[in-house]
Structure 1
Amino acid sequence: MEIYQLRTFLAVARVGHLTRAAEQLHLTQPAVSKQVKALEQELGVLLFERQPTGMVLTKEGRALFPLAERTLFDAMELVNHARGLRGEVAGDVVIGTIIDPDTLRLGSFLGALLAYFPKVQARLQHGISGWVLERVCSGDLHCGFYLGPVLDPDVTSLPMRTLQYVVIGPPHWKERLEQADWAAIAAMPWIGTPSHSSQHRLVHTMFAERGLSVSPVVEADQEASMVSLVRNGVGLATMRDDLAREAQHRGEVSIWPGTVQDCPLSFIFKTTRRDDVLVAACRKALAEVWPSD
């Protein structure tokens, strides 16, 4: 049994489709299909049912999936540890990114990583915080950046900085916002964000603490879209204080003076990967760019 066969099996199982798995693995679809068949022959069980809509795990496949995850992780740990013993850190490290690169100091981080470890190749995957956390937990990402408190006991978070968020509204609502209390703000139309996003959790928490809730009229997943919707009078939203001040200066939004909410920015990885040499390499680069106080 080869490591790449296990990686292919897990990729197909997670996305449920040969083509999409091939894209993730940078392989052709026939190559992925061949690896799955070879693994099935070696194990002596059928792992997938081929259906018109995609690949569905069989009962045997579902039973073997968690074991395959652990086996692949242990195999990669063995390889990485051997590299570390001989003073060589090499390989692909997959890092989840969020928000804008400048806020993360992403360029400096990658520069430090490659300066210390020239044989490491970083692969970036961009998404929202909840997506990064899920992929870190599943093992699809070695590590990543995250906005918000990390409550999962199996995930280690390294604090970087605290970002501040404010409530913004349309520029012509300025007087209305200045006179509004929490209840009035909650009753106004809101622009929602995906349930896994840091802003969704932030809005839910700050109103739930006051026994209130909001009713989104539309959902957006990018700050540029949110600013456009706010500017055109669709509703309220939260935004990073620095970006909101710039947008207010341009006459695009008004800021509600009622609150400034703190949101921690951190670097996360699964605790079981603490000794992974690639994660350790990222931690060293992070400490160079984001030194602890």
Structure 2
Amino acid sequence: MEIYQLRTFVTVAQQGHLTQAAEVLHLSQPAVTAQIKAVEEEVGMPLFERTAGGVVLTRAGQELLPQAQEILAAAKQLLNQARSLKGQLTGKAQLGITLMPDLLRIGPWVARLTERYPLLEVCLHQGVTGDVLNAVRKKELDGGFYLGKNPYVNVHTVLLDNMRLRVALPPGWLARVQPDNSRELGRLPWVGVSQFSSLSKIVSELWRELNISPKKVSESDYFLTSMELVKAGVGVALLREEDALAAAAAGELELWPDLVKTAELQFVFAADKATDPVLQALVGELGPVWHIPVPELQ
């Protein structure tokens, strides 16, 4: 049964006359009659009775009319929805995420994207920062999050935040060294970072600044894992300040005084994708989430 046949059935029921229904539907009376007959044949029972003044619904017609009206209303709603979607952004965004999702504000960001662009599919892939940057450079990902300095001219960045990092030690370790001499950190074992993580470059840079070359006793790609190793007494590590301060306040670790390292947290994307509508939508929704000016991509 076709939608246009249901529309004819409902219109005839409302008008009570084939000729008047034909005028409303902009059809000939024989066409209206043929459509009503087709509906009656499909349901297997008569839906109208002829009277001197026109037609009236049979008992079966009265039972089916509300459902027919509901179907027509649903079809109209579907059409209106389709019209509202016409011209909207469509596509699939492949994105690399690193660190912790809450740190990157992934939830609020994707929520804004899906609300504003219902036809855009957002696909998230977890990885270490170095892998994400390389995948973006090779255009295997449309964009991603990266911590540290971007070395590639064919990759553009949007600065989201300057993350503060602190040197954390296991409980009681400050008593083993002279806290006023940062080179003492070179005598302690460290929790290192995988070479595939950009955090390893930040740690190496810190060591150069302090002129130390400590022994690595373990490796970790993620801040929270490193923090657990520090708490357990494995070694010293560079941690996100918010996490380190909370753990220090709880007596779970100690912080090297007056030593803060900063790292740029950025959204990265291939330079030649700057004018892509999907990429522009992604960057556009970063602004409200991170409370930063939305850059004009070109």
Aligned residue in 1 for 2:219: 219
Q: Which residue of 1 aligns with 2:142?
A: 142
- Name the residue aligned to 2:88: 88
C-alpha distance in 1 between matches for 2:272 and 2:214:
38
Q: 2-side partners of 1:198 and 1:165: how far apart? A: 14
- Calculate the TM-score normalised by the size of structure 2: 0.66
Query: Which residue identity is paired with 1:149?
Result: K
**What is the DSSP-based 3-state SS (H/G/I as helix, E as strand, rest coil) of the residue aligned with 1:167?**
strand
Counterpart for residue 175 of structure 2: 175
2:133 pairs with 1:117: no
- Indicate how the Cα distance of structure 1 residues 177 and 110 shifts in structure 2: closer, same or farther if over 3 A, else same: farther
Residue 210 of structure 1 deviates from its aligned partner by: 4.0
RMSD: 1.8
TM-score (norm 1): 0.67
Please name the residue that 1:252 is paired with: 252
Residue 19 of structure 2 corresponds to which residue in structure 1?
A: none
Where in structure 2 are the equivalents of 1:1-293 lying within 5 Å?
87-176=87-176, 179=179, 181-292=181-292
Choose 107-116 or 217-226, whichever is displaced more: 217-226
Q: Deviations over 1:176-233 (max 9, x none)?
A: 3562522210221111111122321111012213433332111122333322221222
Deviations 1:84-107 (A, max 9, x none): xx8332121011111222222211
For residue 253 of structure 1, report the CA deviation from its aligned partner. Answer: 0.9
Instruction: Give the total of aligned pairs.
Output: 208
Q: Percent identity?
A: 29
- Following TM superposition, the consecutive aligned residue runs of length 4 or more in structure 1 with deviations greater than 6 angstroms are none
Rg comparison, structure with higher value: 2
Conserved? CA contact 1:169–1:177, under 8 Å: no
3-state SS of paired residue (1:151): coil
Mapped partners of 2:146, 2:249: distance in 1? 28
Gaps of 5+ in 2: 1-85, 294-298
Any gaps of 5 or more consecutive residues in structure 1?
1-85
Asked which structure has the greater RCO (Cα within 8 Å, sep 6+), the reply is 1
Q: CA deviation at 1:276?
A: 1.7
**3-state SS, counterpart of residue 288 of structure 2:** helix
1:292 & 1:222 partners in 2: Cα distance? 26
Q: Tell me, in whole angstroms, the C-alpha distance in 1 between the residues paired with 2:115 and 2:178.
A: 50
Measured in 2, the distance between the counterparts of 1:112 and 1:240 equals 27
Deviations 1:32-86 (A, max 9, x none): xxxxxxxxxxxxxxxxxxxxxxxxxxxxxxxxxxxxxxxxxxxxxxxxxxxxxx8
CA distance in structure 2 between the partners assigned to 1:186 and 1:130 by the alignment: 26
Larger deviation: 92-101 or 219-228? 219-228
Cα distance between partner residues in 2 of 1:273 and 1:93: 12
Distance change (3 Å), C-alpha of 1:219 and 1:266 = same
Aligned counterparts of 1:212 and 1:137: Cα–Cα separation in 2: 33
